[in-house]
């Protein structure tokens, strides 16, 4: 296995994405890793690759963090992000194939039937129930 490498990424402003898709987390029972890197982005320019296992974000060990916690750590980074990765540690062939958002298909939306509430039929004390 390769030794960990720390990569310092920078960008001009938060309106520019880092350019990678993160997968995994303790809630998925798979290590955090890079699933996809978009060309001409900071991640691509700084040498981040699909299959790199992320072991620390901004110096924080992420071995036991959820996917959402890792995303929030990256978001809090602003324009400077430090990723410690093990290059090529995750076999991308065994992972689900990433699909660009533009190619995702949504199916028809089915509305759930409104539950019917039972209407109780209580007779008042001085009324006889007619059967």
pLDDT at 119 over 80: no
% of the chain at pLDDT higher than 90: 63
Residue 100 lies in a domain: no
Furthest-apart CA atoms within the chain: distance in Å: 86
Q: How far is the C-alpha of 44 from the C-alpha of 68, rounded, in Å?
A: 23
**Lookup: tokens for 61:** 């060990």
Q: What is the pLDDT of residue 41?
A: 95
Q: Is 90 exposed, middle or buried (0-12, 13-18, 19+ CB in 10 A)?
A: buried
In tens, the pLDDT along 39-55 reads 999 999 999 999 999 99
* Residue 111: HSE in the Cβ half-sphere, 13 Å Cα cutoff: 3
pTM of the predicted structure, to 2 decimals: 0.69
**For residue 100, which of 26, 42, 37, 44 has the smallest C-alpha distance?**
37
Q: Is the pLDDT of residue 99 over 60?
A: no
Looking at the domain assignment, is residue 131 inside a domain?
Answer: no
**Structural domain contains residue 73:** yes
Is the residue at 113 inside a domain?
A: no
CATH number, position 80:
2.30.42.10
For residue 63, the enclosing domain spans 5-89
Cα–Cα separations (whole angstroms), residue 52 to 99, 115, 127:
18, 48, 77
- Domain total for the chain? 1
Whole-number pLDDT of residue 112 = 60
Element (H, E) at 43: helix 42-45
Average pLDDT for 93-115? 56
Residue 71 has pLDDT above 70, yes or no: yes
Q: Region 11-35: what's the mean pLDDT? A: 94
């Amino acid at each position: 296995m390769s030794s960990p490498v720390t990569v310092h990424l920078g960008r001009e402003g938060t309106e520019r994405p880092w350019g990678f898709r993160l997968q995994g987390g303790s809630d998925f029972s798979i290590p955090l890793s890079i699933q996809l890197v978009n060309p001409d982005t900071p991640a691509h320019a700084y040498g981040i690759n699909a299959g790199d296992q992320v072991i620390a974000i901004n110096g924080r060990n992420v071995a036991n963090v959820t996917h959402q916690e890792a995303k929030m750590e990256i978001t809090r980074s602003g324009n400077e992000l430090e990723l410690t990765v093990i290059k090529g540690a995750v076999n991308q062939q065994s992972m689900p194939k990433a699909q660009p958002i533009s190619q995702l298909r949504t199916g028809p939306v089915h509305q759930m039937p409104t539950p019917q509430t039972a209407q109780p039929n209580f007779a008042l004390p001085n009324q006889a129930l007619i059967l």
